[in-house]
Amino acid sequence: MREVWAVAGKDLRIEMRSKVVASQVLPFAVIVLVLFGLALDADRGTLRSFTPGLFWVTVLFVAILTIQRSVSIETASSAFEALRLSGTAGWKIFAGKALAVAAQLLAIEAVMLLGVVVLYRSSFEDPVLVVTAALAATMAIATAGSLYGVLAVGMGVRDTILPMLLLPILAPVLVAATRAFDDGLSTAAVNGWAWCSLLACFALLYAIVGGVAYAVVLEDA
Amino acid sequence: MTHLGYLIAGWGIVLGAMAIYAFSLARRGRELSARVPSDRQRWMTTPERVDAGGPNR
Amino acid sequence: MATTTAPPEKPVKVVEPGSGTGSRTTRLLGLACLVGVAVLMVFAFALTEADLVQQDVVRMIYIHVPSAIAGYTGFVITAIASVMVLWKKSMWWDIVAVAGAEIGLLFTGLMLATGVIWGRPTWNTWWEWGDVRLMTALMLFLVYVGYLAYRRVVPSADVRARRSAIIALVGVINVPIVNRSVEWWASRTLHQQSSLSDGKLEDLTLFTLAMGFVVFAMVFAWMLIHRFRIGWLELQADTVGLQAAMAERRAQMEADIDDAVAHPGVSEPIEGGSA
């Protein structure tokens, strides 16, 4: 377990020092929220009722950038090679990278939630559900994303192939997270907790698959 | 016959796409088989076996 | 002739270069496919009756359902082959996997196309977001578009085999999740529950549908065989190219050595001053 935290801590320390996500990805998220407002003609009723969907589409875009950053940290200095030679098990590296991605995504989501309250006039009817859904969905995105991120390692065109691979897989997460938020923000009468359980299943499944597959991929990373 | 336009479109797309794909397969096969020596065109053996038993050895 | 030195336990058929991936079996199979399609059209358009509710547009079923089965069969083949790639580390199975994916993608695309065209007159909409089977098929389609796109960008053959096997298997694992999420999301489905089981279809309609399955199975088999052979040839062409490059390199090195032996000092200007 110490190795998992070491890998995650390394990624987060690199981010603290370089501030790539904070200075480039976070502003991007805010810009997308503003663009949705402009595209939907600042009609507050529309914005408010579509908040869950717009929020999670934005998170998916942000996740692509965050995952690309997470992968490029390793490839820039052939750190995958070093991690592999250090004898750390593949699943521990995977867990560490996924946790770091999840932590960064959660920080961005916190700012975005503030953004939708201010810009879209959304209100949290069920804060516990919103936070739980955000945690589960973020773990799902981070685990699936970290797996696909490493699959794209070692190819010149990974920046274009990653969205094509990742977004169809994350479509159920988008559906489930949007529905859970629909309940939490009271934009539709659905059972948000059932959707949360689907998100948790997805996160668990991809945590297992990613842990197993990471070792195979690292062999030739 | 009702819905003739829909039927022509559906059947046309299916048969057309299958024909185009079949022709493209045949063309790719001809091009590739011209580039590969005939002793390597044995489909059901593994590459290692072809390497080991090939006449070039 | 090259065949004389081949291993004796396996007689090798002489293949003319450039003669393509056909063999006598596949040519017969191809002929059967053409005849089958013609007979299927006769049955579908001339011999069967129109449906009372759906009228003549029901004749789409003879290509829509077989396309669906063929598409899923292709992806099942890819999934099995991907397991074998990871288990046996075999390039043979990798070629099977890509053949299944490409053909599965073709037929899934045809299923979606015929479904959309059929949906317009029967459901009065081209696309129904809430339909579980439609959405599951679309997601599977997109996953395998990504799979084939991914395969094009990985340069090394064995890395490509392993990693794309993972992508194919993750795509399969995803199917039940997509299914569940769309079902809850829509909590309604337009798709007719399987028309086959409830005895609603006429005997001749059922027979024609069964014939559709057989014809599509033959076409599928023909495509799979040819696509496999193309994958095989691609692997061989790469190997031949690599060996040719290595032979050239070796010849170049030998020439350099000969050169250095024949003219000592020429290639070593610093130490060769004594010459």
Query: What is the interface pTM, i.e. ipTM, of the complex?
Result: 0.83
Please answer whether residues A166 and A220 qualify as being in contact, where contact means their C-beta atoms are separated by less than 8 angstroms. Answer: no
Task: Evaluate whether residue C195 is within a structural domain.
Answer: no
Task: Evaluate whether residue C250 is within a structural domain.
Answer: no
Which of A175-189, C132-146, C219-233 is modeled with the greatest confidence? C219-233
Q: At what angle do helices A127-151 and C157-186 cross, to 10 degrees?
A: 160
Task: Evaluate whether residue C4 is within a structural domain.
Answer: no
- The Cα–Cα gap between A195 and C19 comes to 57
Q: Which residues contact C32 (CB under 8 A, 6 or more apart)?
A: C218
Q: For A124-155, what is each residue's pLDDT tens digit? A: 888 899 999 999 999 999 999 999 988 876 66
Q: Dihedrals φ, ψ of C55, to 5°?
A: 60, -140
**Which residue out of C5, C117, C125, C158 would a mutagenesis test of the B interface target, given it has the greatest number of B Cβ atoms within 10 Å?**
C117
Which of A73-82, C63-72, C128-137 is modeled with the greatest confidence? C63-72
Task: Evaluate whether residue C207 is within a structural domain.
Answer: yes
In 3D space, the residue among A101, A142, A125 whose CA is nearest the CA of residue A51 turns out to be A125
What residue ranges in C133-217 does DSSP mark as E strands?
A: none
Q: Within an 8 Å CB–CB cutoff, is residue B48 touching chain C?
A: no
Residue with tokens 């023909």: C222
Q: For A153-169, what is each residue's pLDDT tens digit? A: 666 556 678 888 899 99
CA C133 to chain centre: 21
Look at phi and psi of residue C199 and say left if phi exceeds 0, alpha if psi is from -120 to 50, else beta. Answer: left
Instruction: Provide the domain count of chain C.
Output: 1
A165·C146 Cβ contact <8 A: yes
Which chains reach chain B with 3 or more Cβ–Cβ distances below 8 angstroms? C
Domain around C74: 28-188+202-234
- Reported as type and span, the H/E element at residue C52 is none
Residue A109 to chain C, least CA–CA distance (Å): 23
- For residue C216, the one-letter residue type is F
Task: Evaluate whether residue C248 is within a structural domain.
Answer: no
Task: Evaluate whether residue C58 is within a structural domain.
Answer: yes
Residues in chain C: 275
Cα→Cα distances C53→A121, B2, C121, C122, C131, Å: 49, 12, 11, 9, 21
Comparing alpha-carbon positions, the chain B residue that sits nearest to C238 is B36
Mean pLDDT of A56-84: 84
Q: What's the whole-number average pLDDT of chain A? A: 86
Task: Evaluate whether residue C273 is within a structural domain.
Answer: no
**CA atoms C22, C26, C32, C38: torsion sign:** negative
**pLDDT confidence band for C174 (50 / 70 / 90):** confident
A205 compared with C48, residue with greater pLDDT: A205
**Which residue out of C166, C173, C179 would a mutagenesis test of the A interface target, given it has the greatest number of A Cβ atoms within 10 Å?**
C166
Which of A95-104, A191-200, C265-274 is modeled with the greatest confidence? A95-104
Which of A76-85, C46-55, C75-84, C252-261 is modeled with the greatest confidence? C75-84
What is the DSSP secondary structure assignment for residue A23, as one 8-state letter? I
Which chains reach chain A with 3 or more Cβ–Cβ distances below 8 angstroms? C
- Reported as type and span, the H/E element at residue C190 is none
Task: Evaluate whether residue C255 is within a structural domain.
Answer: no
Cβ-based burial of B55 (10 A; exposed 0-12, middle 13-18, buried ≥19): middle
- The Cα–Cα gap between A69 and C85 comes to 30
Which range is least confidently modeled, A132-136, A206-210, C248-252, C265-269?
A: C265-269
Q: Which residues of C touch B9 (CB under 8 A)?
A: 117
Most distant CA pair in chain B, distance: 67
